């Protein structure tokens, strides 16, 4: 059964006690009484499977704060296992807060994987890993490639299996920020976005629904083939240029969520990744040119 099979009233009812959604290797039990959360899940997680049974990896809840403040400045709070890891945020940022909280759960606890802060997509059996600093255009490029037929594994967390080095997917919504929202809407008018949260600590944030094939193939791991460091630059020509593997190693290790925690195993996994992948810098200014280049790369 998938989330889209629930009628709106049934979804709201099940959310009150806890709705279990499978996102790749993890099951989230999500509880909320906020209509914003029900609406966001219905819009962005429609294709995700519902998981029955008593077990979930993460039990989270997001609800309105009580007290007098709700009368003039409503807020929402995120809980995991009854604890509140974050300060409350404005109520209209509730869905974005849920997404950030789910990322926090994985990044802080899933140490049976090496976790890199990078997007990852797959096409023709080979995976593209894209680390990116803020403002580099990583999420915009990730969204555009997904809409061109690449399978989304994640736009934030690359999960590397500790046993075989394969990449596992989450296929959760792509987080777009600021100008990226308008760029993707102009590029793909039929793309489905959730409610836009404004004035967050990351600026304006909107989430893009993953494609149905990305969710349908969520359980299929991918073999890493390319590590690409994207950089959007006004008027730049679209081009790939070699990136040294030693520099790529240092970048990935320093941007991993748990490289130091894994010790020698973390070193070996990143070294194996370097052996398996070509490493490139990528500069672009026009999405259609970028899409064309990556299409050719994957063939």
Query: Ramachandran region of residue 65, left (φ > 0), alpha (ψ -120 to 50) or beta?
Result: beta
Residue 292 has pLDDT above 90, yes or no: yes
Question: What is the gyration radius of the CA atoms in the chain, in angstroms?
Answer: 19
As a whole number of angstroms, the distance between CA 290 and CA 298 comes to 13
**Model-level pTM?**
0.94
* Count of alpha carbons within 13 angstroms of residue 42, beta-carbon side: 16
pLDDT at 67 over 90: no
- Report the chain's mean pLDDT, rounded to a whole number: 95
Higher pLDDT, 53 or 29: 29
Confidence at residue 90, expressed as pLDDT on a 0 to 100 scale = 94
Q: How do residues 172-217 score in pLDDT, each as one tens digit?
A: 999 999 999 999 999 999 999 999 999 999 999 999 999 999 999 9
**pLDDT score, position 68:** 66
Cβ atoms of 97 and 271 within 8 Å: the answer is no
Q: Name the β-bridge partners of 30.
A: 19, 60
pLDDT tens, residue by residue, 126-176: 999 999 777 788 999 999 999 999 999 999 999 999 999 999 999 999 999
């Amino acid at each position: 059964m998938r989330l889209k099979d629930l009628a709106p009233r049934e979804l709201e009812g099940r959310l009150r006690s806890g709705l279990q959604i499978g996102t790749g290797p993890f099951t989230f039990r999500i509880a909320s009484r906020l209509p914003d959360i029900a609406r966001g899940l219905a819009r962005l997680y429609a294709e995700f499977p519902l998981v029955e049974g008593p077990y979930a990896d993460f039990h989270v809840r997001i609800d309105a704060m009580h007290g007098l403040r709700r009368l003039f400045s409503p807020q929402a709070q995120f809980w995991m296992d009854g604890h509140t890891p974050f300060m409350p945020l404005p109520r209209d940022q509730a869905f974005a807060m849920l997404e950030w909280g789910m990322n926090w759960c994985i990044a802080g606890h899933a140490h049976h994987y090496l976790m890199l802060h990078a997007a990852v997509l797959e096409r023709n059996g080979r995976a593209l890993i894209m680390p990116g600093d803020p403002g580099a255009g990583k999420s915009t490029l990730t969204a555009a490639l997904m809409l061109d037929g690449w399978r989304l594994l994640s736009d934030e967390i690359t999960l590397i299996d500790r046993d075989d080095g394969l990449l596992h997917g989450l296929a959760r919504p792509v987080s777009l920020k600021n100008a990226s929202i308008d760029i993707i809407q102009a590029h793909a008018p039929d793309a489905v976005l959730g409610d836009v949260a404004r004035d967050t600590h990351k600026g304006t944030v909107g989430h893009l629904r993953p494609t149905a094939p990305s969710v349908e193939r969520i359980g299929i791991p991918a073999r890493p083939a390319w590590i690409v460091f994207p950089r959007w630059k006004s008027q730049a020509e679209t081009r790939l240029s070699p990136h040294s593997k030693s520099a790529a190693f240092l970048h990935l290790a320093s941007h991993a969520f748990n490289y130091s925690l894994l010790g020698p195993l973390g070193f070996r996994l990143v070294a194996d990744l370097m052996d398996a992948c070509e490493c490139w810098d990528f500069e672009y200014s026009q999405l259609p040119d970028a899409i064309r280049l990556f299409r050719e790369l994957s063939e």
